[in-house]
Structure 1
Amino acid sequence: MPTNVRGKLTRNAPLAKLVWFKTGGAADWLFEPADRADLMHFLEQLEPGIPVMALGLGSNLIIRDGGVPGVVIRLGKTFAKVSEEGDCVLRCGGGASGILVSSKARDAGIAGLEFLRGIPGTVGGFVRMNGGAYGREVADILIDCDVLMPGGDFMVLPAGDLQYSYRHSALPDGAIVTSARFRGTPGDPQVIGAEMDRIAQAREESQPLRTKTGGSTFKNPAGHKAWALVDAAGCRGLKLGGAQVSEKHTNFLINTGEATSSDIEGLGEEVRRRVSETQGVSLEWEINRVGRP
């Protein structure tokens, strides 16, 4: 493992505290780079074949109880900067939150990015997953993104190269988005702020935000809403160990306090089974599940 780095490298690093579910094992290694050059140097020196995974806010993630092999990369404050480039374009670090990006856009009078207020994650994660909410998605606003490949190669990828589809991109495993450029349209900061407030209120009213959860669990199948299928299958409030299907929003799983990652993933699979049997629809996970069982 490379040791001549300027960032923080930790062996057997607990990850549960870094993810919203507050469950899961440790990373074999956790690297928090000082900046992009430090991360590039680390990846160049890393032995080929060692798995690499980026970790943002941990909102859409199940870390399995056996921990994560290889290296987990966590982008800190250096990667959380947002700046204007003119012509309604924002350059956003891969570690910047959706709330920060939408707030900077509001202050700059840039409309069209309000939906990011409703995505609980960082730029790196929602660029990879084509994150979306309230009728818009990243594919609508992305110009290009800066990416470091597993071997340390640096690439600037235009949005078209990501081959976006619903909650999916063509970015390979181990690729790390270090920044992205988003384009909006001219807007009134007061109107933009009001829309952000509406989105925040809608989330508060409909989602279990005060619980240990992971965000939307399943993708919406074509022609359906995942929550409605789960509800129709009789899964509202369903429990497995310390995990439960939210009573407030059935496309959310929650850790009631003592859940393991195995409880949460197992409950999700039971929900998928019941929906398939009763509704004839196969739900796909939206939450990423990583690591050893």
Structure 2
Amino acid sequence: MAARSEIILPAARGRLTRQKLLAELTWLRVGGPADHLFQPADVEDLAEFLRQLDPAVQVFPMGVGSNLIVRDGGLRAVVIRLGRGFNGIETDGDTVTAGAAALDAHVARKAADAGIDLTFLRTIPGSIGGAVRMNAGCYGSYTADVFVSATIVTRQGEIREITAEELGFQYRQTAFPEGAVLVSAKLRGPKGDPAELHARMEAQLQKRDETQPVKDRSAGSTFRNPAGFSSTGQADDVHDLKAWKVIDNAGMRGARRGGAQMSEKHSNFMINTGGATAADLEGLGEDVRKKVYENSGIRLEWEIMRIGDPLPE
């Protein structure tokens, strides 16, 4: 890749910012600068920008930064962040079409208003773009269960539809094309009574607030469940191979490194207690993985995405 000073970016109608500090855009509030941040005006602006951008320049699509650690040295890439113009939500029968920047919670509420059951999205942090890319889910439901299709802009600037078969949904991952940007998704949910759907979401919120550190600075679940599926939220849920359980068994609830801590309230949530660096957070995560492996032989897999370069030593 060309050195930062040599990158020549195409003209665009959207907003281009050099050396944007990504700590300002992530929920954990850590991370160094991106070479450039591009906020496209609309889909056509994004497509033209990618068509004209040097193929050697790395592109990183970024949502609301809810499940992300950007390392302290920053990111040698053009970060693409979708905003207004990409957050619309429309309903039609039993389907919802949502822009990639639409928050999961907003989509769940708008769907419920129309009598469409996407209630599992209500407590998932982040936006629809991230939900599709990571096959987000909870309470036994996954984005894959309701996914119909999505519109993407490829790294070459082609606007096209992508199917569930192409995405190859798995637990917390997909085969999303490298460098592509998801701009909207169509979801289909079962019909339900709007009042009942909203009541269910209120109950989910209450349970979340009772069990998760919602007032702390976190990025949601730190590690994938070793069992390979999400919690169902039901009374008969099995916890033996849940990430929080094996972390507890290894004695790592409340563990600290610098300003980073595994939450006392939910041990699979990593929090920035104030002043943590990305190195603190990632280092603590690796401490947890090591202890869990030593205790149980289980190798925890990160659910939080980690990107960028560490600071030079």
> Match for residue 210 of structure 1?
215
Structure 1 Cα separation of the partners of residues 199 and 179 of structure 2: 38
Q: CA deviation at 1:3?
A: 4.0
The answer for the alignment partner of 1:31 in structure 2 is: 38
User: Any conservation in 2 of the 1:53–1:173 contact (CA below 8 Å)?
Assistant: no
In structure 2, distance between residues paired with 1:210 and 1:17: 18
Paired letter, 2:112: R
Cα deviation code 1:77-135 (max 9, x no counterpart): 21000011x23111100000001100110111112x00000110111111000000111
> Does 2:108 match 1:91?
no
Which residue type is aligned with residue 253 of structure 1? M
Q: Which runs of 5+ in 2 are unaligned?
A: 1-7, 228-239
In structure 2, C-alpha distance between the alignment counterparts of 1:115 and 1:173, rounded to whole Å: 28
Describe the superposition over 1:36-75 as per-residue Cα deviations: whole angstroms up to 9, x where unpaired: 0000011001101211111111110000001011110010
Question: May I ask how many residue pairs the two structures share in their alignment?
Answer: 291
Distance in 1, Cα, partners of 2:142 & 2:190: 15
Cα separation, 2, equivalents of 1:173 and 1:69: 16
Matched with 2:248 is 231
Q: Structure 1 residue 276 and structure 2 residue 293: aligned?
A: yes
Q: How does 1:22-171 map to 2 (within 5 A)?
A: 22-84=29-91, 86-111=92-117, 113-171=118-176
Distance, in Å, in 2 between the alignment partners of 1:150 and 1:203 is: 37
Deviation at 1:259, TM superposition (A): 0.4
Q: Provide the rounded CA distance (Å) in 1 between the counterparts of 2:9 and 2:73.
A: 24
Return the alpha-carbon distance in structure 2 between the equivalents of residues 183 and 19 of structure 1: 29
Counterpart of 2:278? 261
Q: Distance in 1 between matches of 2:177 and 2:280?
A: 29
Output the amino acid matched with 2:61: A
CA distance in 2, matches of 1:264, 1:145: 33
Per-residue deviation, 1:172: 2.4
Query: Which 4+ residue blocks in structure 1 deviate beyond 3 angstroms?
Result: none
Work out whether residues 10 and 53 of structure 2, in 8 Å CA contact, stay in contact via their aligned partners in 1: no
Instruction: Please state if 1:6 is matched with 2:18.
Output: no
The amino acid that maps onto 1:38 is D
CA distance in 2, matches of 1:230, 1:93: 36
For normalisation by structure 1, the TM-score amounts to: 0.97
Deviation at 1:224, TM superposition (A): 0.8
Residue pairs, 1:281-292, within 5 angstroms? 281-292=298-309
**1:241 equivalent in alignment to 2:258:** yes
Asked if 1 retains the 8 angstrom alpha-carbon contact of 2:10 and 2:52, the reply is no
**Percent identity of the aligned residues?**
49
1:71 alignment partner AA: V
Q: Distance in 1 between matches of 2:11 and 2:299?
A: 48
Residues 195-214 of structure 1, C-alpha deviation per residue, up to 9 Å, x if partnerless?
11111111111111111111
Q: How far did 1:2 drift? A: 2.8
Write the letter of the residue equivalent to 1:33. P
**SS in structure 2 at match of 1:28:** strand
What amino acid sits opposite 1:221 in the alignment?
P
Inter-partner Cα distance in structure 2 for 1:22 and 1:89: 35
